[in-house]
Structure 1
Amino acid sequence: MPTENRILKALLRQYGYTHRSLAAEVNQVSEGIYGRPGAATDRDVRRWVSGHVRWPTTRYLLPLAEIFERPPEAMGFVPRGRSSRLPAPPSRSRPGQEDPVKRRAFLTASTATTVALALGLEQTPTRGRLTMADVDRVNQTIGRLDAHFTVIGGGALLAVATRYLDRLRDTLDGCAYGPRVEQALHSAISGLHASAGWAAYDCGDSTTSRLHHAEALQSAIFAKDGRAQIRAWSDLSVQARADGRYRDALRINLASLETRQARHNPRIAALLHSRLAIGHARVGDARSAARALLAAQSAYDRFDTADPAPPWLRFLDAAELAGLAGLAHRAVGRLPDAEIATTQALDLLGLSMHRNRAYYGVQLAELQLAQGDTTRAKATAAAVDTAAVSSPRIAGRLATVHHHLATI
């Protein structure tokens, strides 16, 4: 009798996937790997979870490894021997391949459409009685949208997030619900505004990003949700820093760390201390920046690994903390330390974190260029793959590195 794959079942629950949505995600990732969409169905996923299929075909295992950022055995699959070892993904560069710029433009449009379809945005009701079960499904959808960000970047997701915000406004206006459901829905909308703000940031659209983060805070206040409020304030501090308002960013960060959520949740504390370190560094306070980095590491050491992170905080791991430390070191002029931390971030990043890998790859090339190491900077910049990442901000920074290298 087949043995249920409890590990895979738990991963679906942790990442917010249904059988149908995971099949759609596998097919999308498969297209990025093999150049054509997969053919997985919800029936395939049921067979993987039930244990009827103990080792799926490579065509599905490679996408699953990217989605859940772990090898097949860590997803509960049982190898069939040496022949079950996963081969390396096929090369995406082939003779006669289309122009990369045109390919990126196509990917941005097609990926947004694919993600919107896979998430099933139109399934959220806009009429009738709304229940907590409906809001739970909304949160699962937003969680899956957040998961896409670190894979493909925000350029392809801003339109998706905006479209879903319009849908949820229709839900607020057209449905009947009680006070508890209303608060929960405002909390979900706050999270979606935060995601849209980061997507706009990735697009280089600071005005739209700022508006979404402000709306996130307003919705969090409506929801009386302390965690949503701390997330919004933290994002607003990053936005203030991006706008050159370093003192404002620092004040927001310091106030956020005084909240109950920051005191009692080590994940939130680690994020806030890391961003505080960058804030101190931006105003030239190297000693305070170092103290904040130590506090971030101390909070990270207190993570309860048995307690899964909320979807919006899943990006915060050892790789991200190293990358943020690199930003802080860079801001105070400690370029060798910044390079070491950024290299560590790249070494620790999961397989599917394409957007973050491109981001920190560009950061490493910039650091090497700033230190006059043009040979390594050229090699690093050449290795940055932005073909499958939709982020005008990252692409623009990479183009600037290439331009500087070409003039040397």
Structure 2
Amino acid sequence: MAEMRNEALAAWMKAHEMSAAELAQAVNDAIGGLTGRPGATSERTVFRWLSGENQWPQERRRIALQIVSGRTATDLGFVPRAKNPTSTSSEDSVHRRRFVRAATGATATFAAPLLTAGARPSRVGTSDVLRLREEVETLVQLDAQHGGHAVLERDALAGASDAIRLQKLATTHRVRQRLFALAADFTATAAWSMIDAGKLGDAGRCLDRALTLAGMAQDPDMTMQVWNLRAMLARQRGDYAEAVAAAQAALSTTIARRSPVHASLAHARTAIGLAHSGDRRSALRSLGRAEDALSAADPAAPLPTWMAFYGPAELYSITAIVRDVVGRPEESEAASYRALAALPEVYRRNRANATIHLALAQLHQGDVEQAVATSGEVFTIMAGTRIPGRMRRALGDFQRDLFTLAPSARVAQEWTDRHRTEWSTP
């Protein structure tokens, strides 16, 4: 029978930027944690897994792969041998009982922080990189659920410190660079939390540090992430020339030239900065380039964790902002509805932000009562959750425009009286 390439394993390795040699080392480290003796998995072994020549690794390697990846062997594309289904099932049950305690213990060891007070691991390798990457992904998920807050910021900065200390003990230059990249990722995550919470001065200092770390890592993806956040920070500060410059710096990164999704995001950020700068024509041109780039992207291609937020829904939201700022509120309203239709219900903060921009578009068309009703939905969406500083500022923009366009309208005063407390509470 012809061998089938293991696409699931290849996809996991690509998503985690892991070479065959690094996966082999991580598996050997996991086996060492299980048995007390390092494994003997080689780069050639991993190539045999990828090619389909070996479709069912030996027992210890399967368990080690699960510890390293967090996925079962079958999830990673391996196919059990089942010449005798009954005996295979029985054998698997024995193996499961034999290793469950060891595997659980090893998993806890890999998940635990590697540097407690006074502790210095003797060697730092790919397993440590994977452990820290999982921590970054967890923080990104927490941000998606709760927004920027002090605990997330603290944990992100602690993760950056861990990565910086660990790189001094890295076994290879590649591991050292990946640890610097993770330090940049943690630091950028902390900066984003600060931006969302409205701590703009602290965010700027954090991004300066993140850019330095990304440069030390020689990682274009991390560099792009920092410039993207720098563009967002500049916009929050009202420095639109800097916002455009930062977005164009993001566009010039290697990853943006190679990845249509990254390029789309950079063009979209450029469009926002140009719109606020008053360059209407260039803003719409950049927005069109963002749309073209995203339509050319492969929707099945893996993306780094920090880019998980970006897709059609986010581009519709940015489109709504740009078209409203350049004086096309009716087109902004349509884009806002598209963003809300594309956003899953679980993304409460994104839905609330899109709803604010929908209300602004309605207000700028003179539909005051509808705009007030729409803006009130923000508080329903965010019920039970503190409204982040960035969202409070957007609500402040809505109130300002509401009183500018309808200073004597009863609904304007009613909106302020009803929502003052929940809107303005830090």
Unaligned runs of 5+ in 2: 1-7, 17-66, 76-107, 404-410, 415-426
Q: 1:238 to 1:124 in 2, by over 3 A?
A: same
1:123 lines up with 2:116 in the alignment: no
Query: How far did residue 381 of structure 1 move?
Result: 2.4
CA contact (8 A) 2:267 2:287 kept: yes
Give the Cα separation in 2 of the matches to 1:316 and 1:237.
15
CA contact (8 A) 1:325 1:341 kept: yes
Q: 1:376 to 1:217 in 2, by over 3 A?
A: same
CA contact (8 A) 1:194 1:212 kept: yes
Name the aligned partner's letter for residue 280 of structure 1: L
Q: 1:172 to 1:358 in 2, by over 3 A?
A: same
Query: How far did residue 122 of structure 1 move?
Result: 7.5
Query: How far did residue 377 of structure 1 move?
Result: 2.1
Residues 301-332 of structure 1 deviation map (CA, whole Å, 9 limit, x = unaligned): 11112322111111111100000111111222
**Alignment partner for residue 157 of structure 2, among 146, 159, 162?**
162
Residues 334-375 of structure 1 deviation map (CA, whole Å, 9 limit, x = unaligned): 222222212211111012211111221222223333433232
Name the aligned partner's letter for residue 340 of structure 2: L
Residues 247-295 of structure 1 deviation map (CA, whole Å, 9 limit, x = unaligned): 1221232233233321211010010011111111111111111111111
Relative contact order, CA 8 A, sep 6+: which one is greater? 1
Q: TM-score scaled by structure 2?
A: 0.64
In the other structure, the counterpart of 2:413 is 407
1:394 lines up with 2:400 in the alignment: no
1:198 lines up with 2:198 in the alignment: no
Query: How far did residue 9 of structure 1 move?
Result: 11
1:353 lines up with 2:347 in the alignment: yes
In the other structure, the counterpart of 1:143 is 137
Give the Cα separation in 2 of the matches to 1:258 and 1:167.
30
Q: 1:181 to 1:366 in 2, by over 3 A?
A: same
1:326 lines up with 2:305 in the alignment: no
CA contact (8 A) 2:267 2:290 kept: yes
Q: Secondary structure at the match of 1:407?
A: helix
Give aligned-pair identity as a percent. 31
Residues 158-206 of structure 1 deviation map (CA, whole Å, 9 limit, x = unaligned): 2332343344344446x45432211110101111111111111111110
CA contact (8 A) 2:204 2:233 kept: yes
CA contact (8 A) 1:381 1:402 kept: no
Paired residues, number: 305
Unaligned runs of 5+ in 1: 1-7, 17-41, 51-118
Give the Cα separation in 1 of the matches to 2:399 and 2:227.
35
In the other structure, the counterpart of 2:333 is 339
Name the aligned partner's letter for residue 234 of structure 1: N
CA RMSD of aligned residues (A): 3.3
Give the Cα separation in 2 of the matches to 1:336 and 1:194.
35
Give the Cα separation in 2 of the matches to 1:11 and 1:348.
26
Q: Secondary structure at the match of 2:301?
A: coil
Name the aligned partner's letter for residue 357 of structure 1: R
CA contact (8 A) 1:230 1:256 kept: yes
Give the Cα separation in 1 of the matches to 2:14 and 2:170.
29
Give the Cα separation in 2 of the matches to 1:340 and 1:278.
17
Give the Cα separation in 1 of the matches to 2:14 and 2:413.
48
CA contact (8 A) 2:272 2:322 kept: yes
